Structures are given as structure tokens and as C-alpha cells.
Amino acid sequence: MDASAMPHPTASSPREHGIPFGEAVRVWAKIAALSFGGPAGQIAVMHRILVEEKRWIGEARFLHALNYCMLLPGPEAQQLAIYIGWLLHRTKGGLIAGVLFVLPGFLAIMALSWVYALLGNVRVVEGLFFGLKAAVLAVVLQAVVRIGSRALKNNVMRGLAAVAFVALFLFSVPFPLVILAAGFVGYAGGRARHPAFLGGSGHGSAGGKPVPDAETALGEHIPEHARPNLRWSLRISGVLLALWITPVLALVAALGPHNVFSEIALFFSKMAVVTFGGAYAVLAYVAQQGVEHYGWLRPGEMLDGLGMAETTPGPLIMVTQFVGFMGAFRQATGLPPLVAATLGGVLTTWVTFVPCFLWIFAGAPFVERLRSNVALSAALAAISAAVVGVILNLAVWFALHSLFARVAKVPFANGTLDVPVLASLNPAALLLTIGAVIAMFRFKVGVLPVLGASAAAGVALRLSGLA
């Protein structure tokens, strides 16, 4: 039959893509197992497999979904998986894609957290995490450069990054306020059509010839189940909201607001709402609260957790599981410490990631009809610029607490300023950090080899008594 005589699908008669659900499950499991290297690496893996190899979804639709996910709080890579899984196989597709994306990292970090809690005072384990801290600091610096090169395209964006850094580092402005203010500035700039906000943003594709939507299994039209349906959105949103909030309210009612499990549930529920800009953007705030306010962690332990997250698949925000694990391990009463810690890690993961499904299922059917919104894109660009300053604040905070044994708190403005005690500098940590920075920036060595080499060097230094 002549192709020109075949009926063309329209928005009212979308074609079936013919992708078996079982095959999609296997592909999502493969993506989850390969999801190392932070959001940029994870998005690149999804792009390569789903767009370039499988040709299930086209370039334009992939980037459209990514732009929406980057406007949301939470890990954009996992939310992108939920979005595409939903586009392909409706609700069950989104659930499977999202759960599989975090499952390997959840299991790996839980196992490493047990090792850390049980054997953290063993010299080999101490050396392992000592080396990882140096490499993680280099990874965070690389994130500043990588995201900055993409987001800071003009002086207005550079100014937003500088203001964000100063607000956080010098004046201790709450992180959510910094992000919301940047988004508001960008939205207003986009509405005013200011050229500084109209350059676009996002991770972009992996390169090569773009794959047109029309040449993919999903096609270029809106699938039947992806049309806006207020009744479905309200029903699924209500279920997910209940799954998220009910355990939090039950814990607070049963244990009181100052019990460690209640504090974990409330704190990380708040984080799920304000974690714009990815994991790096919020980790300094989580670390500061976990160490200084709640006492869940000791100074420097956040870097140990981030080292776990960097060396395991899944979103970097999985480091929060380690924070909840250690908080319950140290503060829970009435339960064996490891049982409490395991429950703390599970609770943290639950309240961190259930909202990700809520944001996608509630908004994706409506966002799918949008193709380009200048004001929203400008808000994203401004948030991305502010995130550079946020991550730089994270790098400085980590450097202070990993390179120096003592950090003094000096009164400044309405709060305090962390100032290192220079005599407490750890030369071995400094040398390891410099080596990791040179390897990644000068010789372009990948994250995992640098982490492995730094961990081995840390063990050798600890066993030799040099660290």
C-alpha cells in the first residue's frame, strides 16, 4: 500500500507504539544499573538508550519533558524517567521507571551505611572514606565549572550566581528563598522579554543528529492517556499525597514532633518541596542542618555519605538516606540501633521520592500540551544560574570541614561565619584533593576512577599513619 495513502495519526487518533511492557521494564532496569555520574550522566544514559538506540521517543519530546522536570523540586533525572515511563505505559510505566531508577542506589547505600555504622572506626574503613572525601570535593568543584559553563552565559546570570553565593555564605539566607527569588527574577525577565533570560538552558542532548519525534515509536502526537484529565490527575494526586503525608502525620501524632523519626519525616518532606536545582544545590543546607541543628552527623560525615552516593547508581540525592540512617542510629531510643537506622533510611527515602511521582502525575498531562513557554524557560535559566552560586557555597563548606580539623564561628551580620583554623590544616587531605582536582580537570579522568584511586590512597595513608 502506498505510504502516502495511509491515514496519518492525529491528536484525536494517536498510533499505538507497540513497545511491550516487559521490554520496557528490562530497559528501565538497565538504565538504573548504568545511572552513575550525577544528573548529567544519568540524563545522557537515558538519551542514548531511549532516543538514539531504541528510538522510543524523539529529541524534541525528550527535551520538553526534561525542561519540565528541571522546573520541579527533586532529582530531575528520576522525574524524567517517571515522565517518559508514563508517556510509554501510563501510570504503571511511570511507577516502574521511577522505582527502578532509585532501587539499586537505595540497596547499595543501605549496605554501605551498615558497614559505615559497624566498622567506621576500623582503620581501613576510615582510610577509605578519608580518600573519598578528597575526591568528592573535586567532583563538587567540577559540578560548579560544568554547570557554570552552561548556565552563566551573560553578566546578568553571573550576577545572579554571585548574589546567591553571598546570600548563602555570608548572610545565611535560607536556601529555598534564594531559589524562589531567582525563579521570580527569571520569570519577570522572561515576561519582559529581556535578552539575558532568553538564551535557553538545560542539559541538552548528547550530540549527533537529532532524532525527529515522527520517526520514533511514540510519534509526534499526544498519546490518548497523556491528554489532560482533571479527574485522573486529582485521583492519582490524592493517593500519592496520602502515601506521602499520612506516615509523617502518624509519626508526629504518635511520637511527638521532637522524636528523631518525626524530625526526619518533617525535615526531608520539606526538602522534597524545595530541592530545586538538583542534589548539589541542597546538600550544603542538609549538611548544615544535619550537623549543627539536629546533631545527626558529625562534621565531615556528609562527605562520606556523598562518596557513597557518587560511587553507586541512582540520584545523588540518595545521600539523604545516609543522613536519616545515621540520625536514627544515634538518636532513636527503644530500638536496637541498626534496626532504628534501617527504619530511618527507609523513611528518609520514602518522604524524599514519593513526592517525585506526585509532581509528575499531577502536572505531566497538562505540561505535555505545552511546547514553549518563554517565562517558564527564563525562570529555569535564572534558577540554573543561582544554583551555580549554591553549589559553590557547598564546595566551600565541604572544603572547610574536610581540609581543616577545626572551624571557628565568627559573628557576622545576624549570624556566624565559618572561618578555618589554619593551624588545623590536614596536609594529607589537601594533597589528595589537589591530586583529584588535577586528575579530573587536567587529565579528564572520569569520576569513578578518581573516586577509586582516592579511596585506595586514603587507605594507604591511614594504614601508614600519614593521615
Please state the domain extents for the chain. 105-199+224-464
Average pLDDT estimate for 243-247? 97
d(CA 456, CA 452): 6
Average pLDDT estimate for 49-65? 87
**pLDDT at res. 455:** 87
Provide the percentage of residues in the chain whose pLDDT is more than 90. 43
Residue in 390, 379, 393 with CA at minimum distance from that of residue 180: 379
**pLDDT at res. 37:** 59
Output 5 or 239, whichever has higher pLDDT.
239
Q: Tell me: pLDDT of 1 over 50.
A: no
Q: Tell me: pLDDT of 39 over 80.
A: no
d(CA 452, CA 467): 17
Average pLDDT estimate for 133-154? 81
Q: What is the DSSP letter of 35?
A: -
Output 252 or 405, whichever has higher pLDDT.
252
Look-up of cell digits 536545582: 277
**pLDDT at res. 395:** 83
Spatial contact of 356 and 74, defined as CB atoms under 8 Å apart: yes
Name the pTM for this structure: 0.76
Spatial contact of 282 and 270, defined as CB atoms under 8 Å apart: no
Average pLDDT over the chain reads 85
Look-up of cell digits 535578552: 195
Q: What residues does 420 pair with on adjacent strands?
A: 407
**pLDDT at res. 207:** 45
**pLDDT at res. 171:** 86
Grid coordinates given for 331: 538518636
The angle at the Cα of 358, spanning 352 to 363, to the nearest 5 degrees, equals 135
Q: Tell me: pLDDT of 457 over 70.
A: yes
**pLDDT at res. 203:** 46
Q: Counting beta carbons within 10 angstroms of the beta carbon of residue 347, is it exposed (0 to 12), middle (13 to 18) or buried (19 or more)?
A: buried
Grid coordinates given for 134: 578528597
Residue 448: C-alpha distances to residues 45, 113, 145, 360, 436 (Å): 16, 19, 18, 31, 11
**pLDDT at res. 40:** 64
The string of DSSP codes covering 293-360 is IS--S-TTHHHHHHHHHHTSSS-GGGHHHHHHHHHHHHH--SS-HHHHHHHHHHHHHHHHHHHHHHHH
User: What band does 288 get if pLDDT is binned at 50, 70 and 90?
Assistant: confident
Average pLDDT estimate for 312-323? 90
Question: 325-329 long-range CB contacts below 8 Å, 24 or more apart?
Answer: 325/110, 325/113, 325/117, 326/113, 326/116, 326/117, 326/296, 326/297, 326/301, 327/260, 327/263, 327/264, 327/290, 327/294, 327/296, 327/297, 328/260, 328/261, 328/264, 329/117
Instruction: Show the DSSP H helices in 256-300 as ranges.
Output: 260-274, 279-288
Taken in order 97, 98, 100, 102, the sign of the CA dihedral is: positive
Residue in 9, 12, 19 with CA at minimum distance from that of residue 90: 19
